[in-house]
């Protein structure tokens, strides 16, 4: 099959960031009718279906015409028994806690705050890699870490301007979400040497959906779907179709044709898209303290991850 054109790859990369950037705003439209964990379960089920389908299709294409020498379990796309515990842990950190904390935090803070705080994932990933002795940071990267976390402190604890103590609990839950996902990225890295990234993510989502179902199924079943108004249905459809199915599907396709570091370069579009959407759709204020805090966070993250993405082979942020 011919490689896709650069224009098609660019369009796909931009679409992924735009769709992800609108997640917080769309979820806000749903929350009056559906709990955060209920929405998380719906999203994980949708993500699991598309990722398992993509992983299965890629596995069949990869194995077509090849004489298998692997155990039958591996040939069928199942991980070895010894790795199931690790996959369950990755699901807990990278999917269950990540999605649950983000949506629960989002309900308790503004979409603008959540969108800016989630941009700290690359910085947390570097920090954890250094603490676990997986990476070493130079002086510029250390300065970037300090700068990004100073921006987080300003965003979370400064009073006024539509944020402050009224949103601290939600802000801290979003920060915890970023920390959880970063720990997943660091711990899962060695497994990417043994598994195709699409296969690993598909299994992580499958375990994550099962874990979330244990706590969120009653909430999803208790939803009064007839009470959803047009904005809520639009937000729900966006979360499932665009911010989940389209984003993970396009991201998996793009990663087959370009490097993870190239994909990561586009992640910084998400905060701009999300903050603008929150202002236009939710009428959230764009005060100078918020904009300044966001600029400090992003500047710090860019400094902290200078040269870091290329060393994390095969895994985008």
Higher-confidence residue: 260 or 171? 171
Q: Per residue in 113-142, pLDDT tens?
A: 999 999 888 888 888 988 988 878 788 888
> What is the DSSP annotation of 137-181?
--HHHHHHHHHHHHHHHHHHH--STT-STTTHHHHHHHHHHHHHH
pLDDT above 70 covers a percentage of the chain that reads 85
Q: What is the 3-state secondary structure (H, E, C) of 229-263?
A: CHHHHHHHHHHHHHHHHHHHHHHHHHHCCCCHHHH
- Tell me: pLDDT of 147 over 80: yes
pLDDT above 90 covers a percentage of the chain that reads 43
255 and 262 Cβ atoms separated by less than 8 Å: no
Higher-confidence residue: 64 or 274? 274
> How much is the average pLDDT of 265-288?
87
- Tell me: pLDDT of 317 over 50: no
55 and 199 Cβ atoms separated by less than 8 Å: yes
Gap between the Cα atoms of 50 and 207, Å rounded: 14
pLDDT at 314: 37
Gap between the Cα atoms of 239 and 32, Å rounded: 15
pLDDT at 315: 38
Q: Per residue in 269-280, pLDDT tens?
A: 889 899 999 999
> Which token pair is 137?
């940071």
- Tell me: pLDDT of 261 over 60: no
pLDDT at 165: 58
> Which token pair is 151?
């921006």
pLDDT at 64: 59
Helix (H/G/I), strand (E/B), else coil: 76: coil
How far from 83 is each of 71, 190, 292, CA to CA, in Å?
A: 14, 12, 44
Domain-by-domain residue ranges, the chain?
Answer: 36-229+285-311
Higher-confidence residue: 168 or 68? 168
- Tell me: pLDDT of 312 over 80: no
Gap between the Cα atoms of 45 and 213, Å rounded: 9
Gap between the Cα atoms of 213 and 211, Å rounded: 5
pLDDT at 163: 47
> How much is the average pLDDT of 160-167?
55
Listed in sequence order, the residues at least 6 apart from 283 whose beta carbon sits closer than 8 Å to its beta carbon are none
CB atoms near residue 219 (< 10 Å)? 16
> How much is the average pLDDT of 88-112?
95
> Which token pair is 259?
């490097």
- Tell me: pLDDT of 313 over 50: no
- Tell me: pLDDT of 307 over 70: no
> How much is the average pLDDT of 32-51?
94
- Tell me: pLDDT of 265 over 70: no
> How much is the average pLDDT of 250-256?
77
- Tell me: pLDDT of 190 over 50: yes
pLDDT at 239: 96
Listed in sequence order, the residues at least 6 apart from 162 whose beta carbon sits closer than 8 Å to its beta carbon are 110, 112, 284, 285, 287, 290
């Amino acid at each position: 099959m011919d490689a896709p054109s650069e224009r098609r790859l660019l369009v796909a990369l931009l679409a992924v960031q735009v769709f992800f950037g609108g997640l917080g705003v769309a979820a806000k439209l749903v929350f009056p009718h559906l709990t955060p964990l209920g929405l998380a379960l719906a999203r994980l089920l949708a993500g699991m279906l598309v990722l398992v389908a993509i992983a299965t299709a890629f596995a069949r294409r990869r194995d077509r015409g090849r004489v298998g020498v692997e155990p039958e379990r591996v040939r069928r796309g199942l991980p070895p028994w010894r790795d199931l515990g690790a996959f369950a842990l990755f699901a807990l950190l990278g999917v269950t806690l990540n999605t649950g904390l983000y949506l629960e935090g989002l309900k308790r803070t503004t979409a603008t705050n959540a969108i800016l705080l989630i941009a700290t994932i690359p910085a947390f990933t570097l920090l954890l890699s250094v603490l676990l002795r997986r990476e070493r940071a130079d002086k510029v990267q250390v300065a970037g870490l300090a700068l990004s976390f100073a921006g987080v402190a300003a965003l979370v604890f400064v009073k006024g301007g539509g944020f402050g103590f009224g949103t601290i609990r939600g802000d801290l839950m979003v920060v915890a979400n970023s920390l959880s996902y970063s720990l997943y990225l660091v711990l899962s890295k060695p497994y990417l040497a043994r598994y195709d990234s699409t296969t690993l993510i598909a299994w992580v989502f499958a375990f994550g959906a099962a874990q979330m179902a244990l706590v969120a199924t009653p909430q999803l079943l208790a939803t009064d779907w007839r009470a959803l108004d047009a904005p809520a249905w639009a937000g729900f459809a966006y979360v499932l179709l665009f911010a989940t199915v389209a984003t993970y599907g396009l991201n998996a396709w793009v990663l087959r044709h370009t490097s993870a570091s190239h994909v990561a370069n586009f992640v910084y579009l998400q905060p701009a898209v999300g903050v603008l959407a929150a202002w236009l759709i939710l009428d959230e204020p764009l005060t100078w303290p918020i904009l300044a805090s966001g600029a400090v966070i992003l500047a710090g993250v860019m400094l902290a991850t200078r040269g870091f993405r290329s060393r994390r082979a095969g895994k985008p942020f």
